């Protein structure tokens, strides 16, 4: 089945979800397949959960209505603050996620290289495996060459292309393809 449903084609009203114990649970059972088809969230048993960065993106684009356990609306700023308390790189992940989605890519959680996302070529999700692993580097932050090299080596070993997403101080994301190189003496 070809992935013809575009993000702009979300059906009807915003999706309803509730945040409980730090997890975002979608309440609209009838919307599970729509979310799954567009590459958002994961089904666990009879429930459907969104990651913080996915929910932030959907709230930002007015496609998600989030409530807390008492039924009060949770806005973008409140969720961003809560997500930051849970994970120090949640804002970085959101910035990259939002940028990739705006470019038409489906991005899912990565393989554990810090702030990373598996990224599918446009139109390939869910038929084909992710082509890229995108990991974040904040402009001005120090990263060791060994750490970078180890990450790239693991990503290449999985048959994926390593992409460094550098977030400039103004919040713009610039992508660099990273390849493994050996330097001889």
Per CATH, which fold does 7-86 belong to?
MutS, DNA mismatch repair protein, domain I (3.40.1170)
pLDDT of 6 higher than 70: no
The residues pairing with 107 across neighbouring beta strands, listed in sequence order, are 119
Interval 22-31: pLDDT, tens: 899 999 999 9
Q: Which class is 90-178 in CATH?
A: alpha beta
Residue percentage of the chain with pLDDT more than 90: 57
pLDDT of 49 higher than 90: yes
What is residue 8's predicted lDDT score, i.e. its pLDDT? Answer: 54
Which pTM was predicted? Answer: 0.87
Phi, psi of 162 (to 5 degrees): -90, 130
pLDDT of 4 higher than 70: no
Q: What own/partner pairs with CB < 8 Å and gap ≥ 24 does 150-156 have?
A: 151/113, 151/114, 152/178, 152/179, 152/180, 153/180, 154/111, 154/113, 155/111, 155/113, 156/180
Q: Which residue has the higher pLDDT, 120 or 110?
A: 120
What is residue 111's predicted lDDT score, i.e. its pLDDT? Answer: 74
Average pLDDT over residues 78-84: 96
Q: How confident is the model at residue 9 (pLDDT cuts 50, 70, 90)?
A: low
Residue spans per domain, the chain: 7-86, 90-178
pLDDT of 184 higher than 60: no
Phi, psi of 38 (to 5 degrees): -90, -5
Interval 122-151: pLDDT, tens: 888 988 999 999 988 877 777 788 888 888
Whose CA is closest to 106, among 1, 3, 182?
3
The most confident of 78-87, 154-163, 166-175, by mean pLDDT:
78-87
* Largest CA-CA distance found in the chain, in angstroms, rounded: 64
Let me know the angle formed at the C-alpha of 136 by 134 and 139, rounded to the nearest 5 degrees: 140
pLDDT of 5 higher than 60: no
């Amino acid at each position: 089945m070809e992935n013809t449903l575009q993000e702009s084609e979300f059906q009807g009203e915003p999706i309803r979800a509730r945040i409980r114990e730090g997890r975002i649970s979608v309440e609209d059972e009838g919307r599970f397949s729509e979310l799954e088809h567009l590459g958002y969230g994961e089904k666990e048993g009879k429930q459907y959960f969104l990651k913080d960065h996915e929910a932030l993106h959907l709230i930002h684009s007015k496609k998600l209505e989030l409530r807390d356990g008492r039924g009060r609306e949770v806005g973008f700023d409140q969720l961003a603050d809560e997500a930051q308390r849970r994970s120090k790189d949640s804002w970085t992940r959101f910035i990259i996620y939002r940028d990739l989605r705006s470019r038409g890519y489906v991005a899912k959680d990565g393989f554990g290289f810090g702030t990373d996302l598996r990224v599918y070529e446009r139109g390939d999700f869910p038929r084909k495996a992710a082509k890229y692993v995108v990991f974040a580097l904040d402009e001005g932050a120090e990263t060791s060459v060994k750490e970078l090299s180890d990450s790239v080596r693991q990503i290449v070993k999985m048959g994926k292309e390593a992409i460094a997403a550098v977030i400039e101080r103004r919040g713009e994301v610039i992508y660099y393809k990273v390849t493994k190189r050996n330097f001889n003496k």
